[in-house]
Amino acid sequence: MSAVPQEESPHKGKTGLRRVINATRYSLEGFAAAARHEDAFRMEVLLFMVLAPVALWLGSTGVERALLVGCLLLVLIVELLNSAVEAAVDRISFENHRLAKRAKDIGSAAVMLSLVNAAVVWLLILLS
């Protein structure tokens, strides 16, 4: 008796251009949801909008500009992932549970480290 392989998700059936279009739409919906529901994401986007042009102006080489802007983008990426973890945990249950708290705290720590990373990169480049 052989087992029939199970698909991971019934939503993964699209391929080619349709998949690219769907992925783009889902990504834009994710940005909109984060902007609508996540205060920290909105603040970090505002920070990015202010600092990215400054980074392009202050960076003296392409590598410096890439590092200055890249570390800001990393903050946004980590914040999105943290928000996704928090939403998934909240979807399961709103009750206090040590594992839910641990997941949320670890996500928050990742955001903090990305902010520290951004500060260190900016200081190292600006002070050199």
Residues annotated as catalytic are 79
3-state DSSP percent of the chain in helix, strand and coil, to 5 = 80, 0, 20
One-letter amino acid at 5 equals P
CA distance 127 to 64: 12
Per-position b or e across 1-29, b if 16+ CB within 10 A of its CB: eeeeeeeeeeeeeeeeeeeeeeeeeeeee
